[in-house]
Amino acid sequence: MSAPGWLIVIVERNNSFYTIASAEDALDLLFSDWPVNSGAAFISAMEACAGTAAGLVTQEEAQWAFLLAATEANVLFRFV
């Protein structure tokens, strides 16, 4: 089940598939298995996903930031 406001996304990285159902899941992937660790979209996604825990950013905003980071990094994803 996904966090309210977050659409479930399947991300493919290094022949592995990750189910991203919340900003917390996205943040974990950004830290653990992301192909870049710089760039405006990456930094925005990190900040947005972390901001959901503090109630500063909505899940929807964090998801858009995450998807932009994925696009910038050429990370394949699809919605479920």
What are the tens digits of pLDDT across the range 10-66? Answer: 999 989 999 999 999 999 999 999 999 999 999 999 999 999 989 999 999 999 999
80: Cβ–Cβ under 8 A, 6 or more apart, which residues? 7, 8, 9, 10, 19
Give burial (CB, 10 Å; 0-12/13-18/19+) of 76: exposed
- Model confidence at 2, in pLDDT bands (50, 70, 90)? confident
Q: What pLDDT was estimated at residue 76?
A: 96
Q: Which amino acid is at 42?
A: F
Sheet with 9-13, strands from edge to edge, namely 16-20, 9-13, 76-79
pTM: 0.95
Mean pLDDT, residues 2-6: 88
CA 49 to chain centre: 7
